[in-house]
A = this chain, B = another copy of it.
Amino acid sequence: MSLLVVGTVAFDEIETPHGKSGRILGGAATYVGLAASHMIRDIRLSAVVGEDFPNEYMRVFKERGIDTSGISVVSGEKTFYWSGRYHDNMNIRDTLLTELNVLAGFKPVLPDAYRNSEYLMLGNLTPAIQRSVIQQMDTRPRLICMDTMNFWMDTAWDDLLDVVSMVDVLAVNEEEARELSGEYSLLLAARKILTMGPEFVIVKRGEHGAMLFSGDEKFCVPAMPLESVADPTGAGDSFAGGFMGYIARCGDTGFESMKNALIYGTVLASFSVEKFGTERLLELSGKDIEERLAEFVKMLSFSF
């Protein structure tokens, strides 16, 4: 039940109508890893940071039992930095500044101990990097899930299709599913993506929940209605962490288990957005998760 997470570890600086975060820990691999750490123990991060990355943040991972030996620290360089501002309704955000810094030269080399990981989550990175990670594995993971974004569809189409054909689960948002497939209907988009290689397609819909497709099967869940959203940053990655953490824990990759994983992903994402950055993911207890899971399952349940 080992999970390898490859992706960004970053400094984020976030503004919302409710306040400013200051410079905080962010990045896709950070959210995936922290969310998954509530489900399983053996999590390994592969990422790159600059020499400005504080030990305090490394300790955050270690305290959650996450292996950081695959996070390379590049001296003389700075950590990837992103700042953004959310509009009133929290659905639209403007990127204020992106400084790739050390990420520009990121070529992950997996530590030997990572190469036998049973589950692999590829956060959004260039398709070529995602592929190189798959190729470094000693044995093919039991399940590979990848995230991607429109940018690679516009700039690295062939590489992207190649990696998509190598993975089991593709997790994209509505807009990405549409651009990748050329279909507006999410049902048709998912069917088309399923012909590109993945056995499962997840469409992440933010505050409207998530959809899972495989063969002729589909499963859709709404998001958890919340009293307030403090910061949507990392919601999709927290979802992916909850999803992969559940799969790694239960060890089954059939459609019924995937449904439950979708539910866990939605629950972890619902916590993530309640406070700035990773704060809520870090303070969360197992009891908190079980209570919200019970509430969520109740909200979805009916009987004819």
Where the two chains meet, the residues of A that have a C-beta atom closer than 8 Å to any C-beta of B are 89, 184-188, 205, 208-209, 211, 218-222, 225-229, 256, 259-260, 263, 297, 299-300, 302-304
Contact = CB atoms under 8 A, between A and B. Distances in A.
Contact of A297 (B186, B221, B226, B304): B304
Contacts of A222: 208-209, 211, 220-222
Contact of A89 (B184, B187, B227, B260): B184
Contacts of A263: 302
A266 to B, nearest CB: 11
Instruction: Work out how many copies of this chain go into the complex.
Output: 2
A212 to B, nearest CB: 10
Given A89-B184, A218-B299, A219-B299, A225 B205 contact: no
14 contacts: A89-B184, A185-B228, A208-B208, A208-B209, A208-B222, A211-B222, A218-B225, A218-B299, A219-B302, A221-B222, A260-B302, A260-B304, A300-B300, A300-B302
A151 B82 CA distance: 41
Contacts of A302: 219, 256, 259-260, 263, 300
Nearest to A296: B220
